[in-house]
Structures are given as structure tokens and as C-alpha cells.
Amino acid sequence: MPVSLSPQTPVKGGTATHCPYCALQCGMNVAVDETVTITPRHDVPANAGGLCQKGWTAGELLTGERLTAPLLRGEKVGWDEALGFVADRIRAVQAEHGPDGVAVFGGGGLTNEKAYQLGKFARVVLRTSQIDYNGRFCMSSAAAATNRAFGMDRGLPFPITDLARADAVLIAGGNMAETMPPFVRHLAAMRAAGGRLIVIDPRVTATARQADLHLQPTPGTDLALALGLLHIVVAEGDVDEDYVAARTSGFDAVRTSVAAWWPERVERITGVPVARMRAAVAILVGANRAVILTGRGAEQHAKGTDTVSAFVNLALALGLPGREGSGYGCVTGQGNGQGGREHGQKADQLPGYRRIDDPAARAHVAAVWGVDPGDLPGPGRSGYELLDALGTGGGPRALLLFGSNPLVSAPRAGHVAERLGSLDLLVVSDLVLSETAAMADVVLPTTQWAEESGTMTNLEGRVLLRRQAAAPPSGVRSDLEILRGLATRLRGTAGAEGFPTDPREVFDELRRASAGGTADYAGITYERIAAETGVFWPCPAEDHPGTPRPFLDGFATPDGRARFVPVEHRPPEEEVDPEYPLHLTTGRVLAHYQSGAQTRRIATLNMAAPEAFVELHPDLAEHLGVAPGETLRVVSRRGATEAPARVNPAIRQDTVFMPFHWPGVNLLTNPALDPVSRMPEFKVCAVRVERAG
């Protein structure tokens, strides 16, 4: 039913809004009095009345430790002094090093309005090409693969409720039971109706424990496994030949290439028994409706784009994409991981998912912004490449950072710390003093999820409305206000006019800028979102119903056909050897989110998961002479960190696991980049494990 847009109007015991964390964007009611009370909403299909412990405790973010005044070199100052200092330093840096002397780094948790305005600020006010965001570390490989297969990147190109109607779901590299627990209700409904769940993961995760079939490959071999599964489909005559002929192109080359990936060869590479591969194929082939999903475990590799392409090829050969109740999808991680990459904070994109090097796209967006298309910069460096270039001879000398904590979340984090420390100016906008903010010359305290309004686009491509439920503390400003303040100081009145602080006004401009693009929001309004509990893009007009299933009538390619892409397995960029004999893989735990900058400040969550750990198999622990709880030192070619041992038969004997929510873990990881998506290889590197001391 329609709900009020007023931020203080109670709806079922509070203001109807959405969780501050993952891309499920669970609906919740937030009631603010002397305390903050959170209850789940039942009208949002993604969670339908469920919340995880992060969602239940999210109110503590509003009342706990946070920044309330700008900091200039660690000292509290007024806003005029802080913004004036930043503007003066930006002018000085650009006078010496040119527009690209200043860079911008955004975040996948920013609202659509803030992500859009950040991209506009970089290109119109700073005129820099050097802008990217931490979503590059999230699902850029899946985006690259689905763009080349389908002509469009939308995490789930179908409503999440379709999962409950499937007969089989295969999840490659996803652990939703810990990363987004309410997601699991859709899998549980599927299994309760007789459906089968297949999970591919090097660990017996909480999700794998719920599976009917678990495939446990060596880290870094998901691509070989996907090729082996498709080989079996082809060899057994289970390709949907009618679908392939009518709706796809390029299958002959893929059919030829997978002939070399016979199951016994794949077993030697992956460690997955042939019988289990054949069982997985039998489940998929026997299903009337099947869905294949990938997560970060399959994607965060230097071959992540090709790995996703291999799973997309499998889905296409089975005739799944573009059929109601079936398909391929990527489970987006960050809260606005989908919308955050659609509207301009990515190095190669303009609003509406337009390419920044496309003359027509530049002309359209420039007209909305009131600038000459020739004044817009071209593509810049990708996320890690941007961080790696900071402070170097040809790289940016100043960085403005919004909603990210790369000192914890970036690969080869020790090197990233050195690069940040070499800057002439580091400015961080955040609600808490994160590890990165603690290094900054200027820290700007910003509003958070329930203290501002704005839109988010969840993993389904459904545009949702977060409503303000509480007033921010005195002295705190929104990112939109910060950008306007800087634009005014750098460009005068003309700069200020293009940077309103009302989210609805920014969204209306975003609608015009995205019109006609792949991610077309032109027909989406705040009123429609409220009345319909979200609107699926593309939605080109206000009388358009939105597009929950965009591929039913054809794919977003020039000929309407999905494209098969031949790919070949290759080993991880860093293989094990006698000096570093173990694989390290990283991931999440139930209680924490991303770099932990927020969740590590919530007492309940810290009690549940107080520190990082090293998970290792009992046989490996016995070989090393390690007891549970003993402090271990994990060493890679890039650094070392220490954490207590957690002995668990759920992991492979040749692999150790560490959660990345704490500083130290990403000191170890490999920044080797996927050649297409520029995704770092977070999910596998070579390490040795020692008893500390």
C-alpha cells in the first residue's frame, strides 16, 4: 500500500526504510524516541519479515560512537575552515599537477543520489578522469561477463522470489547464509517444494551445509569446474539445441573449446570427483526451472570475468536465461552495489550505465549537466590501479574518499597505506573514524542511513526508497551538502547551482541523465517507489510498469541474442610452492560487514565475532603442531598477520581461510588484476602458516 514520504510519520511502529548493509536491502521500520527500535517489514519481497543480526542491531549505529565535527590534522574545526582548507589544497594541487592531480574514490554503499553527484562533481567541478569506487572489488567481473553475454549487467535479471519456484539452484562461490541470511528463506522455500540446491565452495560453509550437493574445489579452479560441467552437458546430449539456435550465437566455438575439459582432467585440477560433477549436471538437466548464481568466491579472481562467462555459458547451453523461473544471476554484495555502478562513480561510465568514451553518451549527459561534451574527461584508472598510482610521479597527489575504507578492504593493503601516506592531501567523508579516516588530513563527518533520504538499487535491480527516520547530530552534514560546499568554493555560484542538497531534486536530474541508457530510471519517481515498494529498471516512462525480467523477449544485444564466449582455465596468478605451500582464501562471517568500520563498533556483533581467525583443517593443524586458539602467523609474499587458530574439518587440507573484516588480512592478498574487469585476485594467494613467536 502507499506509504507516506514524510520522514517522521510512523508506519507500523516506525518509519518505513531499509537496512544499511547488504544488497538485499531488507525492509525495516525504524522508530526513534529515547531509544531506537527496529522491526522488519513484511511488504518488501527480499526479506518478507526477516532480518539478520546485523539488521536487528543497526539502530546502534545511530546512538554509538561517531564523528560530529570536522577534523583538520586531528583537531576539531568548523565547517568553513575544513572546506576552505580542502578547496585551497585542491586548487594548489591542480595548479601544479593538472586536473588529474586530484582523484575521487567512492563506495558501493552510497545512495544513487550521492553516487550520481559524486561522479558529476569529479567530472564537472574537478574535471578529473581519476574516479573509481570500491564496487570495483565487488562484482565488476560479473558485470563484465554479463555485459558481453547479455548486453546488460543487472545482478539478478529476475525477482528474488523466482528462486522459490525453481526446481534447482546452483550457487558458485556464495555463502548467503552468513552474508545475507534472509536470502536463504527463498532457497528454503525452493527445497521445501522439492527443489535441489547445489553449492560450489572450497569450504563447507553455512550455505553448503544446507545443500543437497556440495562441490569442494581447490581455490582458484572454479573456471575449470564450470568447463567440466558444460563438457558433461554437451557429451551427454543435454544441450537445449532449440533454445541455442533461436536465442543465442557463438555456441559452436564453445562446444569445440569445452571438448578438451573432460571430467577426469577437471577432477585432477579441481579435486572435485567426477561422480559429483555428473550428479550436479543431472540435477540441473532434470529441472524444469533452474537458476545458476555466482558470488564473490567465483568472481574475485584475476580470471573472474572468464569464470563467470563459463557459468553463463553453462546456463545458456541449458536454455535458462530469459525464461521465467530460470536464469543466471550474480548475487550483488554491497548495499548499493548495483545502483552505485550505474550512475557515474566508475572510471569508465556515465549515468545510465553509459560508456564515457561513447560520443552520444557524452553529448546526452553533458546537455543535462549544462557543459560542453569536450570538457568531460575520458576514462580513468580502475580501483586498485588508482590506489596504486597515488602519490607517484604520474599519479594523483590528492584524494577525496567517500564511503570506503581501503586501508582494510584493498588488496596488498600495506602498499595501499604507503600510497595514501604519500599524498599531499587526503580527505575522507565518513560517519566513523575508520582506519583510513585516521590517516586523513581532513575528516568530514557525514550523515548515515537513517538520518537521510535517498534511493538504493538492490540485487534485483529494484529501486527502493530509504527514508529519513532520525535527525542527524548537530555538526554533521550529508555528502550532498559536502559536495555543494566544495563546488561553491571551487566554482562559485555556478558550481553551487548544479549541486542541490535535496535528494529528490538530485534524483530527478539523475532520471534525465539516465534516460535512454541501459539503466534507464526516467520513469521512476519517489512516489512510484513508495506506492509500489520499489520499481525495476529499465523504466523509461512514468506509465511504464518497470522491467522485473528484462530478457523474456530478447537480450540487450544488437541482434537480441545472448552471446556464448569461449574461455579457457588458467591457474591462479600465484601458485603454491615449497616456501608458500598453502592456499589462502578470504570471506565474511555472519556478524560483520565489509571492512567492519561500522559493525566492529556494535557491542553485540563484537561479542559474536570479536576478532579475525585462521581456519585450518585438523590434519594441517596436527602437521603444524597447532592447538585450537593458538596464535598463528600467516605469511604471503606481500606481508604477514597474526590471528588465533580455528580448527575445522569444513575446510580443505591444502587451504586456510581468514575473514576480511579486520585490519591485517588484506596485507596478504594478491592485487593481480583481471584483464577485463580489473578485479583483484582476493580469493586465492599462496601463504605459509607458522606458530607465532
Residue 611 corresponds to which cell in the numbers above? Answer: 576478532
Query: What is d(CA 570, CA 692) in angstroms, rounded to the nearest whole number?
Result: 34
Low-confidence ranges of the chain (pLDDT < 70): 1-13
Query: Which domain-ending residue is among 536, 563, 595?
Result: 536
Helices 479-497 and 79-97, packing angle to 10 deg? 60
CATH number at 589 reads: 2.40.40.20
Domain boundary among 292, 311, 331: 331
Q: Which letter does DSSP use for residue 122 in this model?
A: I
Cα 673 to Cα 293, 382, 399, 657, 670: the distances in Å are: 22, 10, 22, 21, 9
* 432 vs 420: CA distance, rounded Å: 18
Q: Say whether both 148 and 196 belong to one domain.
A: yes
Joined grid coordinates for residue 161? 522470489
Nearest to 151 by CA among 74, 248, 242: 248
Residues 6+ apart with CB under 8 A from 388: 395, 415, 416, 419, 671
**CATH number of the domain to which 347 belongs:** 3.40.50.740
Is 201 part of any domain? yes
- Mark whether 124 and 158 lie in a shared domain: no
C-beta of residue 207 within 8 angstroms of C-beta of residue 176: yes
Decide if 561 is inside a domain: no
Residue 309 inside a domain? The answer is yes
Q: How many residues does the chain have?
A: 693
* Residue 418 within any structural domain of the chain: yes
Q: Do 604 and 634 share a structural domain?
A: yes
pTM over 0.75: yes
Beta strand 670-673 pairing with 614-616: unpaired
Q: What is the distance between the terminal CA atoms of the chain, rounded to a whole angstrom?
A: 62
Q: How many domains does the structure of the chain reveal?
A: 4
Q: Measure Cα distances from 161 to 45, 47, 60, 427 in Å.
A: 7, 10, 30, 41
Q: Are residues 25 and 113 in the same domain?
A: no
DSSP 132-199: EEGGGGTSHHHHHHHHHHHS---S-SS-GGGGGG-SEEEEES--HHHH-GGGHHHHHHHHHTT-EEEE
Q: Say if residue 304 is in the same domain as residue 403.
A: no
Residue 126 DSSP symbol: I
623 neighbors 557 (Cβ within 8 angstroms): no
**Domain extent for 56:** 15-63
Domain-ending residue, one of 63, 79, 94: 63
Q: Do 110 and 248 belong to one domain?
A: no
Smallest Cα–Cα separation from 433: which of 286, 600, 217? 600
β-sheet bridge partners, residue 655: 583
Q: d(Cα 505, Cα 355) in Å, to the nearest integer? A: 24
**Domain co-membership, 358 together with 477:** yes
Whole-angstrom distance, CA of residue 34 vs CA of residue 619: 53
Cis peptide bond prior to 538, omega within 30° of 0? yes
pLDDT in tens, 474-490: 999 999 999 999 999 99
550: in domain? no
- Residue 195, judged by CB atoms within 10 A of its CB (0-12, 13-18, 19+), counts as buried
C-alpha of 10 from chain center:
32
What is the distance between the alpha carbons of residues 582 and 584, in angstroms, rounded to a whole number?
Answer: 6
Say which DSSP state 446 is in: B
Clarify whether residues 215 and 303 are in a common domain: yes
* In a shared domain, residues 282 and 371: no
R_g of the chain, CA atoms, integer Å: 24
Provide the 3-class DSSP secondary structure of residue 535. Answer: strand
Q: Domain with 155 in it: what CATH number? A: 3.40.228.10
pLDDT of 13: 62
Could you tell me if 342 and 370 lie in one domain?
Answer: yes
Cβ neighbour number for residue 45 with a 10 Å cutoff: 16
163 and 297 in a single domain? The answer is yes
Pairing mode of beta strands 442-445, 425-430: parallel
Residues 382 and 505 in one domain: yes
- Please enumerate, as own/partner, the contacts of 606-613 that have beta carbons within 8 Å and a separation of 24 or more: 608/53, 609/659, 609/661, 611/643, 611/644, 611/662, 612/641, 612/643, 612/658, 612/659, 612/661, 612/662, 612/664, 612/665, 613/643, 613/644, 613/645, 613/646, 613/658, 613/659
| 373 assigned to some structural domain | yes
Q: Is residue 562 part of a domain?
A: no
pLDDT on residue 64: 86
CATH number at residue 36: 2.20.25.90
Helix (H) or strand (E) holding 536: strand 535-536
* Residue 549 maps to a domain: no
